[in-house]
């Protein structure tokens, strides 16, 4: 057998699975020797268990497991889906011709893939269709070719922290990139900048955590490895993908296959024309429980990021709530009105994904100033040169400088050394080393670690911190290590000796950050502190459904129209025993040191039978703050109730009960404000109350508009361009009329 090789064959490195060929020159005739006798191949039924989702006389829908090849191919002649389907139908090797085939389609002979209308990769799980008759095979093949079949895939992608910037969870975007075989490795595919076959995929993020993201992909075309290539091109490869993924994360996650699942297949029945939808199970992703539960909630029609569905009919709303009920613990098939409100009133699954930088509020620093330079041997002091040529240069100092441009000690190194002074020369002095400036955030406390004279059992020295300085103003500086003094030449002294350069200071420092703020928000996890701060100010960070989604303090500034600013600090959640550093409680409470007032945030939407009393929660939070720092007992405080829009959980009842019980327990009236961050309820009163706590003696200006004079003429229709003065709201003045009469001031009553 001979083949005529085209001109571009050498560039494309043509190869066949049946054998191999060695390309010599253009237009050469190449002999191909077959390694496998295709005529001798036969399909043998194998007793392999199948997970059948649907079957009738025309169609078979199977949930393919991982590791199963769809049809026989080189290296996988047995154990395929085709062998299992033949055994399920009760066929023998001689009855294979009874199943429909595609003549000459693809590199595999048609007889080796009977009934197969589309394929899945060996590591991909999910729904796959098999045609049982010639008519159904023709209809389904045409439907797949004309893109009439809707396919939905679920994938676990990497890069949850950085990916999808600009694409909020629940929203989607389109990847429209052509795909072609890689020029370096013909076995894999890649995005083609020029040429290639068009490929389009619609991607939607359902849920995410720190490293992974659960995505839904709907491919419009059906190219080889399309989803894997498209996600990898967006820097979000599929977890476990050894070909296109990140190998170091795959090894750490210990995943043996690509986490890609053909979840849904929607097609028209080849005989009846009825639209049928088949869904596979979520079993391949059960090991990622929390992330999959959140994704299932988002994929079931929930409102994500405040985007409501257009369905306003009550029947449709009840149906959507019933579909989402199993994920939320509702077992009944027909949920009640309260359960429907519970489902549709849930908090947003997650806010817009934002990059959260790690927050470092305590660190050790080893600072070494520069040494002074040595003088030249024959340096001489002269009257017109009092500093003397040939003297050594001074060493640079290490200086801390406060700034508002950084927020933590993340970028501060552990060891710093300032430049040394240069040695002197015959005719000029040595160069002085530049000072080394380290920027630190406002609120930094500087302590020097001094050796106590004691050591541990392991021989380590024990250092005790001593206070040195704290930064409270922008651009404030403090010298922590002073540079050495440059040396002086021998001819400057009577004895003829010289003074060498002195070494720079070496200091061990402990830096602690206590955030500058006016009001600190304290509360349990998931109390709504971050949502409240985002609603009152422009401080936006990640808002998630899980506990401790806030892992660092965030400061938001509330600006009033009289140029008064109130800095509000959102702290991570606290629990009982926080003053004893339970769940890093002391690291959280340290940021209340500079607060002028405390605001305890509690969730008042607790329902009729609440196990935890809201007043006991407020008392617990206040006692934790006081036990950590007794000065917190002298600070003014208030209580903010959140999630007041969830009326089916009786938030107003718990809010009123908390107000009257606090007033009965304390002599002073404690401010209690109910809010709803989602709808903006009570935020104005909450902001004003915070201002009164911080600035009790400063009155808030209230601008009032003067009253308009009484109208003497009714407004008329203008048929020509109006050239007179513009009337203000509530008054009218004719262009031909004179000035309006002055306002008559009422007479004062005399006693």
465-499 pLDDT, tens digit per residue, is 999 999 999 999 999 999 999 988 765 565 556 67
End residue of a domain, out of 483, 513, 543: 513
Most confident residue range from 246-255, 512-521, 716-725: 512-521
Question: What is the predicted pLDDT for the residue at 707?
Answer: 58
Please state, as a whole number, how many other Cβ atoms lie within 10 Å of the Cβ of residue 448. Answer: 17
Contact 394, 485 (CB under 8 A): yes
Q: Where do the H-state alpha helices sit in 212-309?
A: 226-233, 247-253, 289-299
Total residue length of the chain: 751
Tell me whether residue 1 is in a domain: no
**299 has a pLDDT exceeding 50:** no
Tell me whether residue 70 is in a domain: no
Tell me whether residue 64 is in a domain: no
Domain holding 186: CATH number? 3.30.2350.10
Q: Catalytic residue among 58, 121, 241, 668, which?
A: 121
The verdict on 508 and 526 lying in the same domain is no
The verdict on 176 and 237 lying in the same domain is yes
Residue 312 structural domain: 289-345
The verdict on 217 and 310 lying in the same domain is no
Kindly report the pTM of this predicted structure: 0.52
Tell me whether residue 19 is in a domain: no
706-728 pLDDT, tens digit per residue, is 555 655 555 555 555 656 655 55
The verdict on 395 and 508 lying in the same domain is yes
Structure tokens at 688: 């004003």
Label the pairing between strands 150-158 and 260-268.
Answer: antiparallel
The verdict on 195 and 306 lying in the same domain is no
Tell me whether residue 507 is in a domain: yes
Helix (H) or strand (E) holding 742: none
Domain holding 461: CATH number? 2.70.210.12
- Measured distance CA(571)–CA(541) in Å, rounded: 12
Please state, as a whole number, how many other Cβ atoms lie within 10 Å of the Cβ of residue 220. Answer: 16
End residue of a domain, out of 651, 676, 694: 694
The verdict on 601 and 526 lying in the same domain is yes
Please state, as a whole number, how many other Cβ atoms lie within 10 Å of the Cβ of residue 291. Answer: 19
The verdict on 322 and 390 lying in the same domain is no
The verdict on 250 and 298 lying in the same domain is no
- Measured distance CA(569)–CA(128) in Å, rounded: 53
Percent of the chain whose pLDDT exceeds 90: 34
* Angle of CA points 261, 263, 266, to nearest 5°: 140
Q: Tell me which DSSP letter residue 251 carries.
A: H
The verdict on 567 and 679 lying in the same domain is yes
13-68 pLDDT, tens digit per residue, is 333 333 334 433 434 444 443 334 444 456 788 888 888 889 988 889 999 988 88
Tell me whether residue 727 is in a domain: no
Label the pairing between strands 362-368 and 172-176.
Answer: unpaired
Question: What is the predicted pLDDT for the residue at 551?
Answer: 86
Query: What is the rounded end-to-end Cα distance, in angstroms, of the chain?
Result: 126
Question: What is the predicted pLDDT for the residue at 633?
Answer: 94
307-355 pLDDT, tens digit per residue, is 333 333 334 434 444 454 454 444 444 445 455 445 444 444 455 445 5
Tell me whether residue 387 is in a domain: yes
The verdict on 647 and 674 lying in the same domain is yes
Active-site residue flag, 95: no
Contact 532, 604 (CB under 8 A): no
- Domain count of the fold of the chain: 4
Residue linked to tokens 């441009």: 405
The verdict on 316 and 239 lying in the same domain is no
The verdict on 160 and 233 lying in the same domain is yes
Question: What is the predicted pLDDT for the residue at 704?
Answer: 63
Strand-pairing partners, residue 173, are 203
Label the pairing between strands 415-417 and 444-455.
Answer: unpaired
Q: What is the mean pLDDT of the chain?
A: 77
Tell me whether residue 666 is in a domain: yes
End residue of a domain, out of 694, 723, 743: 694
């Amino acid at each position: 057998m001979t083949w005529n090789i085209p001109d571009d064959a050498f560039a494309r490195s043509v190869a066949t699975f049946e054998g191999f060929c060695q390309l010599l020159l253009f237009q050469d005739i190449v002999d191909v020797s077959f390694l496998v006798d295709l005529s001798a191949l036969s399909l043998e039924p194998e007793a392999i268990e199948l997970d059948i989702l649907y079957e009738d006389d025309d169609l078979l829908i199977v949930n393919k497991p991982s590791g199963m090849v769809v049809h026989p191919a080189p290296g996988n002649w047995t154990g395929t889906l085709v062998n299992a389907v033949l055994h399920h139908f009760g066929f023998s090797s001689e009855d294979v011709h009874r199943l429909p085939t595609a003549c000459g389609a693809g590199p595999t002979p048609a007889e080796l893939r009977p009934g197969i209308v589309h394929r899945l990769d060996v590591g991909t799980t999910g729904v796959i269709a098999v045609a049982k008759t010639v008519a159904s095979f023709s209809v389904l093949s045409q439907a797949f070719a004309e893109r009439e079949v809707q396919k939905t895939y679920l994938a676990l992608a990497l890069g949850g922290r950085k990916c999808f910037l600009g694409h909020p969870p629940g929203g989607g975007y389109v990847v429209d990139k052509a795909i072609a075989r890689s020029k370096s490795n013909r076995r894999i595919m890649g995005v083609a900048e020029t040429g290639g076959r068009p490929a389009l995929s619609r991607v939607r993020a359902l849920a995410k955590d720190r490293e992974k993201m659960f995505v839904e992909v709907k491919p419009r075309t059906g190219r080889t490895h399309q989803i894997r290539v498209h996600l990898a091109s967006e820097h979000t490869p599929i977890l476990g993908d050894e070909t296109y993924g990140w190998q170091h994360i795959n090894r750490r996650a210990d995943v043996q296959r690509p986490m890609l699942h053909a979840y849904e297949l929607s097609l028209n029945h080849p005989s009846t024309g009825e639209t049928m939808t088949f869904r596979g199970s979520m079993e391949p992703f059960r090991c990622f429980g929390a992330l999959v539960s959140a994704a299932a909630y988002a994929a079931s029609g929930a409102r994500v990021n405040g985007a409501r569905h257009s369905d306003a009919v009550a029947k449709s709303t009840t149906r959507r709530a019933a579909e989402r009920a199993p994920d939320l613990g509702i077992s009944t098939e027909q949920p009640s009105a309260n359960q429907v409100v519970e489902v549709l009133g849930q908090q947003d699954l997650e806010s817009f994904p934002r990059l959260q930088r790690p927050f470092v509020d305590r660190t050790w620093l080893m600072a070494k100033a520069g040494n002074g330079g040595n003088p030249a041997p024959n340096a001489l002091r002269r009257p017109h040169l009092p500093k003397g040529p040939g003297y050594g240069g001074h060493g640079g100092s290490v200086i801390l400088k406060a700034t508002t441009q950084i927020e933590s000690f993340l970028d501060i190194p552990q060891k710093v050394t300032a430049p040394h002074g240069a040695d002197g020369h015959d005719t000029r002095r040595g160069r002085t080393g530049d000072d080394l400036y380290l920027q630190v955030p406002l609120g930094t406390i500087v302590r020097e670690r001094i050796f106590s004279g004691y050591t541990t059992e392991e021989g380590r020295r024990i250092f005790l911190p001593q206070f040195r300085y704290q930064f409270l103003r922008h651009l404030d500086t403090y010298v922590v290590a002073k540079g050495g003094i440059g040396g002086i030449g021998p001819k400057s002294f009577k004895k003829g000796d010289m003074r060498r350069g002195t070494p720079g200071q070496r200091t061990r420092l402990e830096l602690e950050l206590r955030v500058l703020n006016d009001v600190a928000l304290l509360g349990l996890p998931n109390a709504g502190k971050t949502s409240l701060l985002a609603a009152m100010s422009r401080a936006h960070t990640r808002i998630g459904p899980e506990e401790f989604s806030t892992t660092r303090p965030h400061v938001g500034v509330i600006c009033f129209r009289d140029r008064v600013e109130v800095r509000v600090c959102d702290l991570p959640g606290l629990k009982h025993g926080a003053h004893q550093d339970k769940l890093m409680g002391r690291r959280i409470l340290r940021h209340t040191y500079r607060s002028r007032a405390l605001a305890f945030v509690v969730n008042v939407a607790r329902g009729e039978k609440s196990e935890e009393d809201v007043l006991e929660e407020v008392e617990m939070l206040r006692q934790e703050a006081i036990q950590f720092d007794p000065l917190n007992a002298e600070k003014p405080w208030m209580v903010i109730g959140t999630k007041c829009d969830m009326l089916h959980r009786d938030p107003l009842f718990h809010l009123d009960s908390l107000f009257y019980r606090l007033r009965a327990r304390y002599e002073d009236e404690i401010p209690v404000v109910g809010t709803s961050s989602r709808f903006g309820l009570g935020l104005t009163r909450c902001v004003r109350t915070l201002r009164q706590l911080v600035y009790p003696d400063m009155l808030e200006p209230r601008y009032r508009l003067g009253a308009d004079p009484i109208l003497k003429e009714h407004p008329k229709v203008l048929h020509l361009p109006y050239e007179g003065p513009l009337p203000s709201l509530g008054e009218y003045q004719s262009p031909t009329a004179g000035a309006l009469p002055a306002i008559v001031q009422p007479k004062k009553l005399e006693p």
